[in-house]
Amino acid sequence: MSILIDPPAWPAHGLLWSHLVSDASYEELHAFAAQLRIPRRSFDLDHYDLPETRYADAIALGARAVSAKDVVHRLRDTGLRVRQVDKPALLPVRRREFLLTEWVTLGRYTAPVETAAHDDAWRALGDDLITRWNEPHRRYHDERHLEDVLLALDHLTVRGEAVSPATLLAAWFHDAVYQGDAHDELHSARLASERLGGLGLAPSLVQQVGEFIVATTPGRASNATSATVSATGLHHLLDADLSIFASSPTRYAEYTSAVREEYAHVPDPDFAVGRSRILRGYLEQPTLYRTPAAQELWEAHARENVHAEIARLGPAAPPMNTGTGEAPA
């Protein structure tokens, strides 16, 4: 075992934090973090940030206690350290590596038959999806949003939620077609049906994926009544899609800026009124999130962020009446 942890000494969010590292490989580190049930979003390019409340758990599982200097020296000596100055350039590279690994892993759970031809076709589909998520006109609904949704689903899994393959597939496809109009979800669902059906996935699974995607259309989630739709699976997807509301101040500011860019054609006063209506529509719901795990993880901070954004947008506008309490993010 080559997992090392330094003492909790770095303050953040009212806690002290440790660095959890491997001096052998990132793969070993990810495997250990999964055993420890630490969410993947806690990974910071060469280490996991671990709260003081989990320090003893890491030691009990086999991590070796060392000093902070030892952590730095071991990472440096093994070539696994990422310098702060190199992080901006490395972040998109690691994001792409994560997405491709997640896609390949998902294929193993859903493939009707594991063959070289199927593996090649699956990888080609993953490449096509990532290309779509990186189309130049996207600002918020891009590869980073896909990563955020998958990391949120991983976090729900760590909290004991059983996230289904249908939910994960729907996450990959839910904005695969994005033109910023009312038909994006329907077109994305059709793309999923065609491409997944062409790979021989079970028709019931393909149908469920399509219905999950369509249900992400504003106003549609509450009307998803087909017998193939798992309410829990759909709720996982919807909660993960809105996890951005609970992000850090820096990430939330980047999110709101990107949303504004996607609606650059809308004059500032009209955008402020429309955006305020949408956000107030969310706040008028009993909860922003549908599953208990998501409520525990994100509800309070999400409401703080949304209230703050409404205040920045200016005078209140009447709430949007969608008939079901749904509104687009």
Which percentage of the chain shows pLDDT scores above 70? Answer: 91
Q: At what angle do helices 116-133 and 143-158 cross, to 10 degrees?
A: 120
Give yes or no for residue 264 having a pLDDT over 50.
Answer: yes
Give yes or no for residue 144 having a pLDDT over 50.
Answer: yes
pLDDT at position 319 is 47
- Predicted confidence (pLDDT) per residue in 165-211, tens digit: 999 999 999 999 999 888 999 999 999 999 999 999 999 999 999 99
Of the listed ranges 71-80, 106-115, 147-156, the least confidently predicted one is: 106-115
- Predicted confidence (pLDDT) per residue in 209-231, tens digit: 999 999 988 756 544 444 445 68
Q: Give residue 320's pLDDT band: very low, low, confident or very high (50, 70, 90).
A: very low
- Predicted confidence (pLDDT) per residue in 94-142, tens digit: 999 999 999 999 998 887 777 888 899 999 999 999 999 999 999 999 9
Is the pTM higher than 0.85? yes
Give yes or no for residue 286 having a pLDDT over 60.
Answer: yes
pLDDT at position 285 is 93
Mean local confidence (pLDDT), 84-96 = 96
pLDDT at position 1 is 58
pLDDT at position 9 is 95
Q: Give residue 268's pLDDT band: very low, low, confident or very high (50, 70, 90).
A: very high
Distance CA 123, CA 125 (A): 5
In CATH, the number for domain 90-329 is: 1.10.1300.10
pLDDT at position 230 is 67
Give yes or no for residue 325 having a pLDDT over 60.
Answer: no
Distance CA 90, CA 45 (A): 8
pLDDT at position 82 is 95
